[in-house]
Amino acid sequence: MSYQFSQESEKRFSKLFEMFPDKRSIILPALYMLQKEKGFVDREGMQYIANKIGDPISLAHVYGVATFYTLYNKKPVGKYHIQICSNTSCYLRGNDVLEKHVCSKLGIKPGQTTPDKKFTVDEVECLGACGYAPMMQINDSFYENLTLENIDKLLQDLK
């Protein structure tokens, strides 16, 4: 059986047609719903979205959007998805040291997931909190003005 949205997401998806008369505008929120349900966006889910939106939207349209934006996970991630900002402000404030520290604590490299599937670490471009660098995002929460000490506490609280 192929992928289908949950009943709740199906209701929300139906409302997108009222909110966005241009069908192309439905792709972003639909991908977000897919990621919320599956934890990542895959070809099966993207095809489902293209079929649900209908003509003129194709799998190629949906795939193009999903691969353009880094906020969509293209593969499964751990329960806690740690995204460490690598843009200029964070870099100048030591994000590289923090990233090495996080990876060392978890025993993985950037782009990897722990064997127990609890943590994934990714280096990402700007997360939009340059005034509070260095920072990282864990799932949907931002953590700013990071130090090695508060990273250790964060990781301990998540374990």
What torsion, rounded to 10 degrees, do the Cα atoms 111, 28, 9, 57 define? -120
Please check if 85 is assigned to a binding site: yes
Reported as half-sphere exposure (CB side, CA atoms, 13 A), residue 73 has a value of: 25
Q: For strand 119-124 and strand 80-85, is the pairing parallel, antiparallel, or unpaired?
A: parallel
Please check if 103 is assigned to a binding site: no
Please check if 130 is assigned to a binding site: yes
What are residue 15's phi and psi, to 5 degrees? -70, -20
Annotated binding site: 85, 90, 126, 130
Residues at the annotated binding site for [2Fe-2S] cluster? 85, 90, 126, 130
